[in-house]
Amino acid sequence: MNLVVVSNRVSRGKANEPMTGGLAAALLPIVENSGAIWVGSSGRVRDGNQEPFAEIEALGVGALALLDLPAAHYGGYYEGFANSALWPAMHSRADLIRATREDYLSYREVNAFMARALLRFRKPDTAFWVQDYHFLALGAELRELSVTSPIGFFLHTPWPARNVFCGVPHALELIEAMLAYDLIGFQTEEDCENFLACVQHELDLPVHDGIILSRWGRTRAAVFPIGIDVDLFAQYAAKSATHPEVSRLRKSLNGERLAIGVDRLDYSKGLVNRIRAFDQMWSDQPSLLRTASLLQIATPSRGAIEAYGNLQNEVAKLVSDVNGRHGEIDWTPIRYLNKGFAQAVLAGLYRTAQVGVVTPLQDGMNLVAKEYVAAQNPADPGVLVLSKFAGAANELDAALLVNPHDIDGMARTIATALTMPLTERRMRWEAMMTKLRRGTIQQWFANFIEELQETQPDKSEMPELMSDRTALWPRRPAQAGARIH
């Protein structure tokens, strides 16, 4: 089988270069080793109605195809519909949903553009695997172009409660378009159930054992929790001690204990509450002043969107207040860095920190949590403090689980983590490593592709359902049975 993987952001695969986001980092080893073609945005745009242009380069035994997206639609697609309507909705922040009709049209245009671009990678045995909320309608656009190959989709974010997703303009058209996929993968059972509830109650379609029957044919929805390359990360960490940035960090600590947070600067990551919890901890437990500090790496993200600009200001001010209040002439409580680090360096920073703090308000999986665990020294592992609202909490239940809205509770738990005895740290770490080894990125990839190959034939076996393939959008009004916004 010839596999084409599609995502908005791709990674060029250099271990010594910073990487933004879990998806790009996670997909890298599987594309490098599987021979897949990975198609995504080049980060550049092009004017006019030109044919899709892709620059192709080798990536391990696979290849990377970088596509210039249409200039007229890029803003409406990326900053607009994807990140100002879908992202807040997926993270249950309906209050932040902002989208115009133009944004939606641009989102659909970019999905249609990507579908046209993918045709050049199609061979008789090609399967497509589309990633994430940027391309909910790409499968439908491919079917419009008469593609009958297997098409899978994986959502890296949560899928929210029905009422929240329905707050997205054109929500029902999008859910309906998603049913053009043969297999839809989610991070957790809850995400999958929320999605199926939307299909059943909003589109009035029958659902049995995760199988949905629609005018597109048969779609299976299932859970595939994403993992990491555990051995690779552990190797990075073991080799990292000599890395200049890692050894500089070590030297600067003077025996002080360190907690680390590594996040995109995003409102879903719970940064404000986390910093408030540290503030509270230092106020409640003065013995931790000068003996325990926080290194918070917060990579700027989507800065052109108002909610992100506001958050950047809020976090910077809060860090400065806390440092002003608890700091000393020779001690800074929070080291706050707005830049990214390469995976190999991050692994060393994780290993240097006695506590990893991963406290999102909502998160699909959160691979930082898994990376922190994989990077630890088996003889003297650190402790993971993990939000119960991250998908990773389902597997990493041996972490110290916290409610990221409960500042007092988080303050107490971080203090417990900083002072946990070695025996308990090892017991918890070993339990988490066992889980990580059971669900690596390689297994995630293999499981999804195996199921995708099994789910497909039904589309061609259901000609009566396929006879009316006209998309709901943008060329015709709503059809009976589907309530359209």
Residues that bind ligand F6P (CB under 6 A): 8-9, 20-23, 132, 156-157, 264, 301-302, 364
As a whole number of angstroms, the distance between CA 451 and CA 151 comes to 11
Task: Give the shortest CB-77-to-ligand F6P separation in angstroms.
Answer: 11
Nearer to ligand F6P, 70 or 364 (CB): 364
Nearer to ligand F6P, 237 or 305 (CB): 305
If phi > 0 it is left, if psi is from -120 to 50 it is alpha, else beta; for residue 246 that is: alpha
Contacts of 170 (CB under 8 A, 6+ apart): 104, 473, 484, 485
Task: Give the shortest CB-343-to-ligand F6P separation in angstroms.
Answer: 14
In 3D, which of 416, 366, 406 has the Cα closest to residue 386?
Answer: 366
**E-strand stretches of 392-485:** 400-402
Q: What are the two backbone dihedrals, phi and then psi, of residue 421, each rounded to the nearest 5 degrees?
A: -65, 155
Nearer to ligand F6P, 20 or 323 (CB): 20
Burial label, 59 (beta-carbon count in 10 A; 0-12, 13-18, 19+): buried
Structure tokens at 176: 């309906």
Task: Give the shortest CB-171-to-ligand F6P separation in angstroms.
Answer: 18
CA-to-CA separations, 14 to 233, 343, 387, 459, in angstroms, rounded: 14, 9, 30, 39
Task: Give the shortest CB-261-to-ligand F6P separation in angstroms.
Answer: 15
Task: Give the shortest CB-456-to-ligand F6P separation in angstroms.
Answer: 25
As a whole number of angstroms, the distance between CA 12 and CA 299 comes to 18
Task: Give the shortest CB-37-to-ligand F6P separation in angstroms.
Answer: 19
Name the residue whose CB lies closest to ligand F6P. 21
Angle, helices 22-34/441-455, rounded to nearest 10 degrees? 70
Give the residue carrying structure tokens 């061609």. 460
Cβ(357)–Cβ(334) under 8 Å?
no
Cβ(388)–Cβ(401) under 8 Å?
yes
Q: Which amino acid type is present at position 79?
A: E
Nearer to ligand F6P, 132 or 176 (CB): 132
Nearer to ligand F6P, 374 or 415 (CB): 374
Task: Give the shortest CB-236-to-ligand F6P separation in angstroms.
Answer: 19
In 3D, which of 355, 392, 332, 401 has the Cα closest to residue 262?
Answer: 355
Nearer to ligand F6P, 77 or 121 (CB): 77
Nearer to ligand F6P, 187 or 352 (CB): 187
Known catalytic residues? 156, 363
Nearer to ligand F6P, 21 or 167 (CB): 21
User: CA 64, 69, 75, 76 torsion: positive or negative?
Assistant: negative
Task: Give the shortest CB-402-to-ligand F6P separation in angstroms.
Answer: 21
Residue 260 CA, distance from chain mean position = 19
Cβ(174)–Cβ(214) under 8 Å?
no
Contacts of 20 (CB under 8 A, 6+ apart): 9, 264, 299, 301, 340
